[in-house]
Amino acid sequence: MKKSNQTPLRSVLRMCDDGLTVNQLANLTGLDVDGINRSLKCMPDAYIDRWEISERRRYISAVWCVVVPPENCPKPERKNDGNRN
């Protein structure tokens, strides 16, 4: 059984608010570029934030980010209206 790349990718992307390209993810995680591409496409919380053009204007790279889910909203406090015992 293959181990999922999604957990380490999600962790690294959550630490980098500005996002990362696939090559940057590969350098930071040591994972294979093809595996990273497959994993990102399957992650419902991953999205392409923007595109970057290389210095020599030869390549365009997607910059990936992940949605950081907010904490659950706390329940409202019940008002004491005086009618209840």
- pLDDT, tens digit, 9 for 90 and up, residues 24-55: 999 999 999 999 999 999 999 999 999 999 87
In this structure, is residue 30 part of a structural domain?
yes
More confidently predicted of 78 and 61? 61
Going by pLDDT thresholds of 50, 70 and 90, the confidence category of residue 76 is confident
43: three-class secondary structure by DSSP: coil
Structural domain boundaries, residue 47: 6-66
Is residue 29 one of the residues assigned to a domain?
yes
Q: How far apart (Å, rounded) are the C-alpha atoms in residues 43 and 10?
A: 9
| DSSP code of residue 20 | B
pLDDT of residue 33: 94
- The confidence score (pLDDT) of residue 30 equals 93
**Residue 26 domain-assigned (yes or no):** yes
Q: Which residue has the higher pLDDT, 63 or 2?
A: 63
Whole-angstrom Cα distance, residue 73 to residue 60? Answer: 39
Residue 46's domain is classified under what CATH number?
Answer: 1.10.10.10
Residue 84 is assigned to a structural domain of this protein: no
pTM of the model: 0.75
Total domains in the fold of the chain: 1
Helices 22-29 + 33-42 axis angle, to 10? 110
